[in-house]
Amino acid sequence: MIEAMEFDRLEPEVRVTLNVPFAWVPDRYGAGSNTLHMHIVYPAQAPENGLPVLLWVCGGGWECCEPQNRLHDLGYFAERGYLVCLMQYRVSNTAPFPAQIQDVKTAIRFIRSHADKFRADPDRIAIMGDSAGGHLATLAGLTPDKPEFTGDQWSGASDRVQAVVNWYGAVDFYGMMRESGLSDLSQLPGNHCVSKLFDGELDRKGDLIRLANAIDYVTPDAPPFLILHGDRDDSVPVSLSYDLHDRLTKAGCDVTLVIVNGAGHATIEFAQKKLLRRIADWLDRAL
């Protein structure tokens, strides 16, 4: 049997570069250093003015960080013309907060510092994350160049982003506490992910918890926000996303909240092309 095949239209060519080092951080014992990497997915062709950037911050309760799990899904954004960077960050059993947000901001500065090499537009950087990564993406977007969150690597560049996409992020620790029926965060068990993030003894960590509470940084200068949350999420209360939307709205910010009906926490709905297309369309306008 002989068959012929032809194409009316070819899909965009997308390339992948794995394990690009972007930061060097102390190991958990303070005796050496570890290298943080990012995976980069990008279109083969770039416009003269450079590619818009989408930095992905994965979830995992701040306890695990496996950005490679979203390589397939987020490749869609490279097809849409984005330079997609999926980064590692230090997890809580390696270093407590603020190490995680410092790593996120180092990644932003690394990308901006190497914009020419990556054929990227340093003035069009969006950040996106889910769950714990949604917390970090929101915190990064609301605290540009905040000294407490800024490391010394790639320090010549700004860590400001131009858009934030938050998937069911844990943006308010006190709101989570209230939704759980607790009167104080110190009532959380020691093996809870929030306890681990702050290295335990939460009754003594009030200042650190407030420093990490993303929703409290909302100002009229916030970048555009897209928030997505499933109405059946039993891990991060959907009320947190309503509260963030309300605060941004009251501050006069550009914000859209999408409630995904029937979706739980990190369920299959968040890998559907329909949802990814909605995000890409919003990013095209926001950037």
pLDDT digits 0-9 by tens, 161-175? 999 999 999 999 999
- Looking at residue 273, the DSSP 8-state letter turns out to be H
Higher confidence at residue 87 or residue 204? Answer: 87
Write out the two tokens for 265.
């926490």
Q: Cα(270)–Cα(229) distance, rounded to whole angstroms?
A: 9
Position 287 pLDDT exceeds 90: yes
pLDDT for the residue numbered 191: 86
pLDDT for the residue numbered 151: 85
pLDDT for the residue numbered 190: 84
pLDDT for the residue numbered 200: 87
H/E stretch holding 26: strand 14-26
pLDDT for the residue numbered 92: 95
Position 95 pLDDT exceeds 90: yes
pLDDT for the residue numbered 180: 82
Residue range 201-224: mean pLDDT, rounded: 95
Q: Cα(152)–Cα(168) distance, rounded to whole angstroms?
A: 30
pLDDT for the residue numbered 27: 82
Quick one: 208 exposed, middle or buried, by C-beta within 10 A (0-12, 13-18, 19+)? middle
Q: Which residue has the tokens 């926490």?
A: 265
Write out the two tokens for 115.
């914009």
Position 36 pLDDT exceeds 90: yes
90 CB neighbour count, 10 Å cutoff: 22
Residue range 18-47: mean pLDDT, rounded: 90
Position 225 pLDDT exceeds 80: yes
Q: Which domains does the chain have, with CATH numbers?
A: 14-286 (3.40.50.1820)
Position 29 pLDDT exceeds 90: no
pLDDT for the residue numbered 234: 95
41 CB neighbour count, 10 Å cutoff: 25
Q: Cα(20)–Cα(267) distance, rounded to whole angstroms?
A: 29
11 — pLDDT class (breaks 50, 70, 90): confident
179 — pLDDT class (breaks 50, 70, 90): confident
- The one-letter amino acid code at 67 reads P
pLDDT for the residue numbered 203: 87
Average pLDDT, the chain: 94
pLDDT for the residue numbered 97: 96
Residue range 84-96: mean pLDDT, rounded: 96
Position 149 pLDDT exceeds 90: yes
- The one-letter amino acid code at 237 reads P
b/e code 228-240 from CB counts within 10 Å (16+ = b): bbbeebeebbbeb
